[in-house]
Structure 1
Amino acid sequence: MIKSVIFDLDGTLLNRDVSVQKFVERQYERLHKWVGHIPIEIYISRFIELDCRGYVWKDKVYKQLVDAFDIQGVSWTNLLDDYVEQFKYSCIAFPNLIQMFDELKHEKLTLGIIYKRFWYVSNG
């Protein structure tokens, strides 16, 4: 009998591609004063390329962006801080996620989420 279900976050529960796209668009808007000299499409596509679907640490991504686009007035650490603080507001779940969780909880299953180095487990 199944007693628990463990999920991966990115690409399983959250639509990572859509979430990253949304975040980078919003970051560009928030920090337009410093990154506005870069066309938005280029900023977004370069971030996504450097990010390698989340396999590259964001400090490296932002260092490369600052160097490649000669970003002045905001450092790579500022950009990274913005990512850490703001990304959660751009996360897009796959359709029917809440309904699926409700159904699994109704079955009294323990649910867990793995996100890189972090674990979260809920018993209801």
Structure 2
Amino acid sequence: MIKAILFDLDGTLLDRDASLKIFIDKQYERSIEWLGHIPKQHYIRRFIELDNRGYVWKDKVYQQLVREYDIADITWEELLQDYLDHFKVSCVPFPNLIWTLEQLKKRNFMIGIITNGKGQFQMDNIKVLGLEKYTDIILISEWEGVKKPDPIIFKRALAQLNVLPEESIFVGDHPEKDVQAAQRIGMKGVWKRDHHWAGDFQADYIIDDLAELLTIIK
């Protein structure tokens, strides 16, 4: 019997690709005094390339941008701080996010989030999306000192919820760090399909929309 549903954040609950594009556009406009010599679409495209879907931290991204585009009179540290301060207001949820969480809570499922990333940065995004009131636990890798796909962070979450692996489902967009990592400790792994990831791997279920979880748990 399934008692708990745990989620990844970026690419699963938070539409990071859409959020990032909104943020970069706004950052360019806020910083146009220093970035105006760069065509906006060039800046946006290069940022997205260097960001590598969030797997490169932004200190490296901004250092590279400053070098490539000869950005002067504003430092990479200041651009990074702008990212830390303003990304959260650009956060876009995936469709049916809150409705799905509400339905899960009505059915008395425990809900958790396990996400890699910087602690306060990820928590700010979680708060903006309004997820705190639906979650029983939130584990962020920086604060936990361990990150996915390490089994420790999954086991720690289950221990805090007091549920067994076979009583829980993990939903994520990354085939290895989310789905397979959860399966390795005995959880059900649900892949929220992301066409950036290709290859042959086994998920217990595949969904395109969070609302499909309600069908699975029946």
TM-score scaled by length of structure 1: 0.93
Instruction: Give 1:19-58 correspondences, 5 Å limit.
Output: 19-58=19-58
1:109·1:123 contact (CA, 8 Å) conserved in 2?
Answer: no
TM-score scaled by length of structure 2: 0.54
Residues in 2 aligned to 1:16 and 1:46: alpha-carbon distance in whole angstroms: 16
- The equivalent of 1:92 in structure 2 is 92
Q: What letter is aligned with 1:97?
A: L
- The equivalent of 2:168 in structure 1 is none
1:9 aligns with 2:22: no
1:114 aligns with 2:114: yes
Q: How much is the aligned-residue C-alpha RMSD, in angstroms?
A: 1.8
Residues in 2 aligned to 1:72 and 1:112: alpha-carbon distance in whole angstroms: 43
The alpha carbon displacement at 1:3 in A equals 1.3
Residues in 2 aligned to 1:46 and 1:8: alpha-carbon distance in whole angstroms: 26
Structure 1: state its 5+ residue gaps: none
The alpha carbon displacement at 1:113 in A equals 1.3
The alpha carbon displacement at 1:123 in A equals 3.1
Aligned residue for 1:108, secondary structure, equals: coil
Aligned residue pairs total: 124
Residues in 2 aligned to 1:31 and 1:109: alpha-carbon distance in whole angstroms: 45
- The equivalent of 1:104 in structure 2 is 104
The alpha carbon displacement at 1:108 in A equals 1.2
- The equivalent of 1:123 in structure 2 is 136
Aligned residue for 1:60, secondary structure, equals: helix
Point out 4+ residue stretches in structure 1 off by more than 2 angstroms. 117-124
Q: What letter is aligned with 1:23?
A: F
Q: What letter is aligned with 2:23?
A: F
Residues in 1 aligned to 2:51 and 2:136: alpha-carbon distance in whole angstroms: 34
